[in-house]
Chains A and B, each alone.
Chain A
Amino acid sequence: KDSKSGLALTSLVPYRQDSCIALASQPMHQRSFTQKLHSFMNGCEYRDRVLTMDTMNPNVKRVEYAVRGPIVQRAVQIERELKMGIKKPFTEVIKANIGDCHAMGQKPITFFRQVLALCSYPDLLEDSKFPEDAKSRARRILQACGGGSLGAYSTSQGIEMIRQDIARYIEQRDGGITCDPDNIYLSTGASDAIVTMLKLLVSGEGMSRTGVMISIPQYPLYSAALADLGAVQISYYLDEDNCWSLDISELRHALQEAKKHCSPRALCIINPGNPTGQVQSRQCIEDVIRFAAAEKLFLMADEVYQDNVYADGCKFHSFKKVLFEMGLEYSEKVELASFHSTSKCYMGECGFRGGYMEVVNLDPEVKVQLTKLVSVRLCPPVPGQALLDVVVNPPQPDEPSYDTFIKERTDTLATLAEKASMTQEILNQVPGIKCNPVQGAMYTFPRIHLPPKAILEAKEKGQVPDMFYCMKLLEETGICLVPGSGFGQRDGTYHFRMTILPPKEKLKIVLAKIKEFHQHFMEQYS
């Protein structure tokens, strides 16, 4: 076949996508006339595309991820419009849609960044401006890397020394309950590990298809992953009237219903809650574990906000610890994967995509399969692994960086606590907004009352009512929030998620603007 005939055109036709007109005079080799004609009728198309909405993976189409959904795309557009000088009733877009600490002005922990800089550019080990404790950690990390470089692949499960450090950290956190480094898998952020575990769990067809229980409201990574994997989502509702607590009878009810059409095999818990901010009591965790044991459910505990607990009387309890305190009957039986990340807590290092999971009671053969599966992606980013190592192995009281480290950490967490209570207070002053206490995590998920007229108008526009609300808020104030519908909520209730991360002064302004907007919105639609 003569593949070169097209080549002759090169010199004639400029490199322009829209030069199709020029083609009319060109030879139509090797395609049937009708095909060509058809192509020309479709404008610049010479053949049908291979990948279209009709032919693409239907599971991918079903995926939804509101945290970076249409509202965020519109926010980016508005930012560009502002840059181009288009007038708006505001001067900047405030992206309160995502828990992105540094983007909101939170400063990195100095010690962590020192260690990472030393690892990235080891010539700095000679620089006297870097403290010795940072240098000793960097040396230790580099020694564990192939060729002493962050640029080498690590083993797929993660650098062994770092897994050992993580295991020690978990043991300390959990009051001495043992942790085996072989049960630790480093990951590319917690999201990666969660998707990997779900991938293992999904099987069966029809009635035997895996069902996965997730809380509503949930962090939409879960619903997105389940859609992508073609698993069945089983929703259990958190109790908004009871500070978004988890109610065991609701779990039971959801499970019984689900058993009619799928095979429920996993239960996902987010504690502290995202987007709901509740911190689970020890009692609640015990009940969940008992339920999982009785119903043979694989437990997935998303504990990325474990250091973000603000409310008096609340404390973080790890699922692992509670499980082991419940005795052998449970601790030898219940399969558990728990997840952690460098992105949240006091470090907020989202961009490094560091994270890990600990698996407990995983079938040894399945563990081999897990290791194989993660090996296809080679390894999690090594800078993220290094960062995680310093997070679990921070400066000790006898080390030079200790005081600065503690001060930075305490300041960040104290500010977050202050912002959590401020957010709740101000929002609850607004008639038509009701906000549960932000006990932990980084978000508030207030319920908003929307007048029937607004709901009607939203429906006419083909929008979910709280999307309509958030879009309007964005257009009028530049504040970008995520509608509650992106996380799931009880029918007829409406919410939004906003992060509490902006600096205090900015947060005050954001909250005042929301207050004003909401009042105006209510007036407009009632």
Chain B
Amino acid sequence: MRVGPSVEKCGQMRFITAEAKASAGRLDGKMREKTLTMDTLNPQVKAVEYAVRGPIVLKAGEIERYLEEGGTKPFSEVIKANIGDAHAMGQQPITFLRQVVALCTFPELMDSPSFPEDAKWRARRILQGCGGHSLGSYSASPGVECIRKDIAAYIEQRDEGVPSDWENIYLTTGASDGIMTILRLLVSGKDSSRTGVMIPIPQYPLYSAAISEMDAVQVNYYLDEDNCWALDINELHRAYQAAKQHCQPRVICIINPGNPTGQVQSKKCIEEVLHFAYEENLFVMSDEVYQDNVYAPDCQFHSFKKVLYEMGPEYFSSVELVSFHSTSKGYTGECGFRGGYMEVINMDPEVKAQLVKLLSVRLCPPLAGQAAMDVIVNPPQPEEHTFKQFHQEKSSVLGALAEKAKLTEQILNSVPGIKCNPVQGSMYAFPRIFIPPKAVEEAKALGMQPDMLYCLRLLEETGICVVPGSGFGQKDRTYHFRMTILPSIEKLNVLLGKVRDFHISFLKEYSGLEWDEI
């Protein structure tokens, strides 16, 4: 066995944080008794898990520091492919967006000839919507009014005329914030009447983390890996019926395009989901932050809102739907600005008042993020000066992403023991990996998930940081990892090559087979 000591050390760490080591404080005689300990900590906080920034990322940080301090490893840099962080991976910001934000931030620049008029015009308009014409004032809690109106207009255009009421738009601190807020409203009841939340497996772990934190019941429905991670309506029925025995399923969450799975839902599939929600009286939350990230030529993004309207008034005047969008993904990749919005349809007016109240406690989403959101929904038009450059930057980002999506799928599928569905959309591949029984056993002995062992070894040996599939959920005895396709093409090529070499040597090591037998 050639397991590095650091992997073992990691195995002893508490990866499953829910298993609190309540006794640790007691064992250490020097420690004074504290008010806030693992014993007294909010148990729901203990239960929260968030793999995307979990132990493997902490480990990656440690290795980075070790390298900086002159330590040696079989690689010279850590590549963090764990998270969809476009700019960190070298993607350049959209010039126009940053010009508008800079103008809003430092309005003296309005006099500068080096800024285009269409950027100035937008900045002036945003500032007019801000108290004291400053990004430094609080906005109304649902967001700056003119930005909400721009978003509504954008949605109407996207959805080919389906109306959008700006008063249904709420800006948020990234989409995560909106998702948490809506879930918070929905959680109630005790025991068998406790709110159940249906989420896809694999899922983006924000959902499971929020459900744990709020002590709601997680209801898993499995995506069909053999069918390109499609959502199977029969599986929804199964999951719903099973959950009804012990909780009250009240919400269904959909991620489209999928994270981590990258599938893009067909219109038919969305209709089926909405019909199901209608029949079973479920509140629909549709996470559409990757709506601009569709690469497969035969796929198209359909918003839940539009499909709902096309299903007729029986549906569109009754199904409660909240859809989420963000500045962090798409072609802008502005994660750091924490911009986002949600559109709320058919919400009970009294509950809506409660939502506004709840949002108001946090005062408002960051104004710079709201400004960035405004540019995304109100980009340069063909008749404007900046259109050409904007359009060129946008298509170059999306073109490169499409190329990388394809490259990733192809290279991964060429590795024996790795099987990767097409990355139709979003920013990740979620390949299935074969882990030999010996490695599975070893992982168990170390008290960790087999794919965690795999990812830790990959990190230790190659410097590549990916997230084990267990952090997103997967069918029992299947193993995966999530990696982002965001690195530059050259780097992605190198990275995928390293993953391939690692995988082959891992298989060799644990199955005792020679290369040609694999």
Interface residues of A, Cβ cutoff 8 Å to B? 1, 3-4, 6-10, 13, 15-17, 19-20, 22-23, 26, 30, 39, 44-53, 55-58, 60-61, 63-65, 67-69, 76, 98, 100-106, 108, 113-114, 116-117, 120-121, 124, 127, 129, 145-147, 149-156, 188-189, 191-192, 195, 199-204, 221, 224-225, 228, 265-266, 296-298, 332-333, 335, 347-353, 361-363, 365-366, 368-369, 372-373, 375-384
Contacts and interface: CB of A to CB of B under 8 A. Distances in A.
Given A150-B336, A353-B367, A369-B46, 17 more contacts: A3-B311, A50-B281, A60-B185, A68-B360, A69-B357, A100-B131, A114-B106, A150-B337, A152-B336, A200-B41, A201-B42, A228-B361, A365-B24, A366-B38, A379-B336, A379-B338, A383-B366
6 nearest interchain CB pairs?
A: A103-B131, A146-B88, A382-B336, A351-B367, A9-B312, A117-B106
B365 interface: yes
A151 B312 contact: no
Contact of A151 (B271, B333, B358): B333
A296 B132 contact: no
B101 to A, nearest CB: 5
A224 B363 CA distance: 12
A380 B338 contact: yes
Nearest to B365: A353
Nearest to B28: A364
A234 B99 CA distance: 49
Contacts of A145: 87, 336
A40 to B, nearest CB: 11
Interface in B339-364: 346-348, 350-351, 354, 357-358, 360-364
Contacts of B46: 369
Contacts of A61: 354
A199 B369 CA distance: 26
B269 to A, nearest CB: 10
Contacts of B362: 188-189, 191-192, 195
A275 B157 CA distance: 46
B40 interface: yes
A335 B106 CA distance: 40
Most buried by B among A44, A76, A384: A384
A390 to B, nearest CB: 12
B271 A3 contact: yes
B281 A44 contact: no
Interface string B117-150: 0000000000000111011111111000000000
Interface string B310-324: 111111111010000
A365 B185 CA distance: 30
Nearest to B24: A365
Nearest to A189: B363
A10 B311 contact: yes
A383 B336 contact: yes
Contacts of B274: 3
B361 A352 contact: no
Nearest to A2: B275
Contacts of B98: 120-121
Nearest to B208: A376
Contacts of B50: 372, 375-376
Nearest to A204: B40
B471 to A, nearest CB: 12
A249 to B, nearest CB: 22
B377 interface: no
Nearest to B188: A57
Contacts of A69: 357, 360
A265 B35 contact: yes
B38 A351 contact: no
A188 B48 contact: no
Interface string B16-43: 0100010011000001111111101111
A352 B363 CA distance: 11
B162 interface: yes
Contacts of A224: 361
B161 A15 contact: yes
Contacts of A380: 338
A27 B153 CA distance: 33
Contact of A381 (B180, B278, B337): B337
Most buried by B among A103, A349, A380: A103
Most buried by A among B33, B45, B250, B282: B45
Given A6-B312, A19-B313, A335 B187 contact: no
B209 interface: yes
25 contacts: A3-B275, A47-B318, A60-B354, A103-B131, A108-B136, A151-B86, A152-B87, A153-B85, A155-B61, A188-B366, A199-B45, A200-B45, A204-B40, A296-B33, A351-B368, A362-B36, A363-B34, A363-B36, A363-B37, A375-B52, A376-B176, A376-B210, A379-B336, A381-B366, A382-B336
Interface residues of B, number: 119
B254 to A, nearest CB: 15
A100 B366 contact: no
Interface of B: 17, 21, 24-25, 31-38, 40-43, 45-46, 48-50, 52-54, 61, 83, 85-91, 93, 98-99, 101-102, 105-106, 109, 112, 114, 130-132, 134-141, 161-163, 173-174, 176-177, 180, 184-189, 206, 209-210, 213, 250-251, 271-272, 274-275, 278-279, 281-283, 309-318, 320, 332-338, 346-348, 350-351, 354, 357-358, 360-369
A274 B203 CA distance: 42
Nearest to A8: B312
A120 B102 contact: yes
A98 B138 contact: yes
A51 B134 contact: no
A113 B86 CA distance: 25
B279 A108 contact: no
B368 A352 contact: yes
B37 A366 contact: yes
A336 to B, nearest CB: 11
Given A51-B347, A56-B351, A351 B338 contact: no
Contacts of A372: 17, 48-50, 54
A151 B365 CA distance: 16
Contacts of A50: 186, 250-251, 281-283, 320
A522 to B, nearest CB: 32
Contacts of B138: 98, 100, 103, 350-351
A49 to B, nearest CB: 5
B327 to A, nearest CB: 8
A8 B36 CA distance: 60
A524 B196 CA distance: 56
Most buried by A among B49, B106, B114: B106
Given A56-B186, A151-B87, A152-B88, A63 B357 contact: yes
Nearest to B83: A153
Contact of B136 (A155, A191, A350): A350
A262 to B, nearest CB: 13
A141 B177 CA distance: 25
Contacts of A13: 312-313
Given A52-B351, A200-B41, A332-B32, A103 B132 contact: yes
A299 B91 CA distance: 43
Contact of A352 (B278, B281, B367): B367
Contacts of A348: 136
Most buried by A among B88, B101, B180, B312: B312
B314 A100 contact: no
Contact of B336 (A51, A76, A201, A381): A381
A485 to B, nearest CB: 16
B88 A153 contact: yes
A200 B59 CA distance: 24
B177 A154 contact: no
A443 B61 CA distance: 44
B40 A265 contact: yes
A351 B88 contact: no
B317 A20 contact: yes
Contacts of A49: 320, 346, 348
A298 B35 contact: yes
